[in-house]
Amino acid sequence: MSNPLRSEVLKLYRNLLYLGREYPKGADYFRERLKFAFTKNKDVTDPCEIRKLVAQGDCVIKELGNLYYLREYTAMKKLYHKQELFALLNIGRSTD
């Protein structure tokens, strides 16, 4: 692997490893899968193929970002829904 591609692959690995800390099935599960994926492709030497794999990794990063955003959005929605429900219940009690 040439130097610029090596640095891209290492950067991708570090980014994925960092994002994997919050993975729903756990960081250890994500780390094992990540290591397996990178080990499986360690013998790839064609620069075009390496760029394709890095692009796939970038797509995985975007998907993880969407997954985390969706999880955060769902949690916030539940929180606000509870607050609205409690507000409605309190309003109903004060009028009785």
pLDDT tens by residue, the chain, 96 residues: 446 799 999 999 999 999 998 888 899 999 999 999 999 999 998 999 999 999 999 999 999 888 888 888 787 777 777 767 667 677 656 544
CA 30-17-14 angle, to 5 degrees, is 155
CA 87-89-93 angle, to 5 degrees, is 115
Sign of the four-CA dihedral 30, 26, 61, 5:
negative
Helices (H), ranges, the chain: 3-19, 27-40, 47-95
| Residue 96: predicted pLDDT | 47
- The residues, any chain, with a CB within 8 Å of residue 45's CB and separated by 6 or more, are 1
| Residue 67: predicted pLDDT | 86
The verdict on pTM exceeding 0.85 is no
